[in-house]
Structure 1
Amino acid sequence: MTSKEERLAFLEEMKDVRRIRKANRADVATPRELTPGHVERQRAAVATPLKDTNPLTSDMVEPLTAHDILSWQRPGIQHGVFRKFRLGQYPIEARLDLHRMTVEEARREVYRFIGDCVRYGLRSVIILHGKGERNPDGIAQLKSYLAKWLPELNDVLAFHSAQKHHGGTGAVYVMVRKSERDKQHNREIHGSR
């Protein structure tokens, strides 16, 4: 076939084709009406509440007063280590201040704070909860909840009310578990299993 014959054959094939009059661009405008899929996704989002993964109890707890001392440790903590810890002899690597927070806000912050401590390898921290001395009933609400929450967190090894110069019974030292990464690092340095 010559080029003239090819051209004629091409034109014969294309005789019913009509030219597109619109611009050669995609329509990217947002549709004005809601599609059934959009409505269904919106309904599902509203109907399904977010799952609270925070394990800390939000039930009622045993009330504590301003002068009650908090003290708790998991089995296996050496006596000398706990003694040094409760006397405030370990450097404080981070602090969380719960003053002026609601119980729910404090619950979220404590959970997040302990998780961050493990993630960043912080072992000895302090949480300032206040004494509740201004409360008419004399109950230290955040302190009471904190005494219940800290043992519920597997990453907390021990806690004890702080020394006077760190806030006394209005604050608590918290000993945090080593992260797996830090444990592995120690194994490598010291050559143990």
Structure 2
Amino acid sequence: MSDDTDDLHLFREAVKDAKPLKHDRILHRPSPPKPIPMQLIRDEQQALKDSLSDDYMPAHELETGEELLYLRDGHSPDILRKLRRGHWVIQQQLDLHGMLVDEARAYTADFLNQCKKRGIRCVRIIHGKGLGSRNREPVLKNKLRSWLMQRDEVIAYCQARQVDGGAGAVVVLLKSS
């Protein structure tokens, strides 16, 4: 006899007197699925929305003219210089083209939270140049500036290099996890 046949024979000998359990005697019933905390989800979404104000403008903003430029207090100016020169590899990007302000705010908050969770350091956010807006002005660009400065994980940001989107995008450096 082969090993498989021997094993099968031994198993059958060992269980020949066993009686099957009745279905109503199952010892481990699967636990019911946990309820989905819909109110908590709504509260978190509202908190994300509320966490980014459109009117925030600190006194220490570094912008000159139309270029987006920001460095959080306590960080070396070398960081901003390196960011402007493309020192860090852009690991993720978010494209806000064509979005309404509220939609863009929510996407930006969610994107930054996901990047923070995943330990991503350098990202590009494409806001567009505003050519499709009413007055052909970059609405999202101005909003994004304010939103980014309010986020603790944002160390610095600057207008993207021409090859990375120029005036239609911003490169953001985030704190390491």
- Higher Cα Rg, which structure: 1
Percent sequence identity is 35
Give the aligned residue type for 1:156.
V
CA contact (8 A) 2:56 2:150 kept: no
Contact conserved, 1:124 with 1:174, CA < 8 A, in 2?
Answer: yes
Query: Residue 27 of structure 2 corresponds to which residue in structure 1?
Result: none
Contact kept? 1:58, 1:104, Cα under 8 Å: no
Structure 1 residue runs of 4 or more that deviate by more than 2 Å after TM superposition: 58-61, 133-136
- The partner residue of 1:53 within 43, 47, 51 is 47
AA aligned opposite 2:82: K
- 1:97 to 1:76, Cα distance in 2 relative to 1, 3 A: same
Q: Which runs of 5+ in 2 are unaligned?
A: 1-37, 58-64
Letter paired with 1:113: F
Q: When the two structures are superposed, what TM-score results if normalisation uses the length of structure 2? A: 0.66
Aligned residue identity for 1:53? A
| Aligned pairs (5 A) from 1:155-170 | 155-170=153-168
1:88-123 superposed Cα distances (whole Å, 9 cap, x missing partner): 221101000001111111101100111111111110
Measured on the aligned residues, the alpha-carbon RMSD in Å equals: 2.3
Contact kept in structure 1, 2:71 and 2:77, CA below 8 Å: no
The residue that corresponds to 2:141 in the other structure is 143
1:109 maps to 107
Give deviations 1:154-193, integer Å, cap 9, x for gaps: 11111100010101010000011112xxxxxxxxxxxxxx
Match of 2:18 in 1: none
Partner SS state of residue 77, structure 1: coil
| Inter-CA distance 109–169: structure 2 relative to 1 (3 Å threshold) | same
Gaps of 5+ in 1: 1-44, 62-66, 180-193
Amino acid in the other structure paired with 2:131: E
Cα shift at 1:58: 4.5
Q: How does 1:1-193 map to 2 (within 5 A)?
A: 50-51=42-43, 52-54=46-48, 55-58=51-54, 68-179=66-177
Contact 2:101–2:140 under 8 Å retained in 1: yes
